[in-house]
Amino acid sequence: MEKPIKNLLLVFSMLIFFHAHSQTETPNILWISVEDISPMLEVYGDKSIKTPNIDRLSKEGITYTNAFATVGVCAPSRSSIITGMYPVSIGSHNMRTGPHYAYREPENETYKDYYGQKDIKGRNVPEYATVPPAYVKVFTEYLRAAGYYTSNNAKTDYQFNSPITAWDEIGREATYKNRAESQPFFAVFNHEITHESRIFMKKEDPMLADKSKVNIPKYFPELPIVRQDVGRSYSNIMELDKQVGDMLRSLEEEGLLDKTIIFFWSDHGGPLLRQKRAVGNSGLHVPLIVRMPNGQMGGTKIDDIVSLMDLGPTVMSLAGIAPPEYMHGRAFLGPYKTKNPHQYAFGSADRFDEAVDMSRSVIDGRFVYIRNFRPELPLIYRNAYREQIEMTKTLIEMDQRGELTGGAAYIFMKTKPVEELYDLHSDPDEIHNLADSPNQQAKLKELRNALSAWQLETGDLGFVPEYDLVNMMWPGMVQPKTDLVKFEASGDLLLLTSATEGASIAYQIGEEIGGKFWRLYHQPIPAGKKVVARAVRIGYKTSEISEYDNFPKSAEDE
């Protein structure tokens, strides 16, 4: 009876909080977005290092123990976060589609016809921008329409260029501090210190972690180079913790800490081999902590399964906005919190840079089921980017000499089983496949069926060769272009439209024209001043600028 009572008390306290908060002001919301870490933190039971500032977030916030990415690599994962959709349902599942890691002005959005990528049939895959269904929007547009100031500092990586309608401010200098007085904000700060690249880029930096005490997964051998690179990943987390502390202090000094809801999350699992890009628990399980104003519900732990694609709907819910029904993501906080949490977390793995593969997974919090659609391929494929990490090169060389044993030999299997099943309670490192175990056939069948149903429901586009997928989104391999904005005067109001289905419209008015700031058009605007506007649908080329200046000139103007 203890857990139901505990959950009931939690729900009751949340209802009290949201009722009280709705009587005062719209909350500010801030994301501390971090890269490439699994739950390698003391708040999740890992004693390798101390992270006092992240510990503080957990003590004053809600810690989610079963949070998962949809893909074990940044760009597809971030596409699901910004849209609230499974990547396999919108065509953003292959890593990476183009130079989308940072925002490009519409005039600078260009793509290479050839950059060395091949699809499963060996055909050239050009750079491209994913084109989701017309009804899919970036969730920040809903916030802007509700009066929020949105800022992103600075990474995007959505598999399409960020629409000019997505953010009030984007870039290395973007901050909530530029909002209008009393305007609520949604601000994202992306911390790159824990990214995979920092393992090799920072190898000469001082080591903050005690290498002798860091946790070594059983799929790595006990070697000095392994302790060095695993230690570096923990050392980078310690640096991240200092950055988190700086942000908390800044919010306190500005009097904003207890007026702001803070989310701390990683875009996918850890930076090392069999973590990043993996489709099992090691690649998808992430830390997620939410701190409410005044530390309400502090110290609470939630075991419900949460997906990173739930982040957008949850932010909308906390802002008092009903998430649209088309989103796969579900709000896990706020007045629109779902009554039906996810039963499973689903994951996908397809092309990772030059390596083409296809696997799918389903996780119920204890068991991990993986279906490999290219079982003839090895589990550990060659990938030039990650082979810049010293331990990765060492393990590959050892494997080629037949020197690996145990868990390390297991992950270097030369072909994959069609099905994998792991029990995280007895095998947290996923190195004992139970798919053929007579005792686990009921669980195997359950998860196999759940995965098949999910693939049918989402219309899994992983079965479409990437060349054909691009041609579906970009007919003739040419990026479609959004139609121009048209203006229609209706009394004292001006209506803006674009013939492109699903297009969003940005505009500037009066003295704003020519600047970098674009307003989001979401309702008719007052006529009387010169207006310029352009439209954009996700994945399409942004339209040229249209202008409306059809006002009678006064004698003074003449």
Please identify every residue annotated as catalytic.
Answer: 74
Contacts of 204 (CB under 8 A, 6+ apart): none
Q: Distance between CA 487 and CA 493 in Å, rounded?
A: 10
Q: Distance between CA 368 and CA 187 in Å, rounded?
A: 34
**Residue with token string 């017309």:** 134
Q: How many helices (H) and strands (E) does the chain have?
A: 13, 21
Q: Distance between CA 527 and CA 548 in Å, rounded?
A: 10
Pick from 102, 88, 92: nearest CA to 157: 102
Bridge partner residues of 187 (DSSP): 30, 151
First to last CA, the chain: 81
Q: Distance between CA 399 and CA 48 in Å, rounded?
A: 28
Q: Distance between CA 295 and CA 313 in Å, rounded?
A: 22
Contacts of 454 (CB under 8 A, 6+ apart): 344, 346, 362
Radius of gyration of the chain (CA): 24
Q: Distance between CA 90 and CA 169 in Å, rounded?
A: 26
Q: Coil, strand, or helix at residue 229? A: helix
Range list of β-strands (E), 175-308: 185-191, 260-266, 285-291, 300-307
DSSP letters along 356-411, please?
A: ---EEEEE-SSEEEEEES-TTS-SS---TTGGGSHHHHHHHHHHHTT---HHHHHH
Q: What string of H, E and C letters represents the secondary structure of 383-395?
A: CCCHHHCHHHHHH
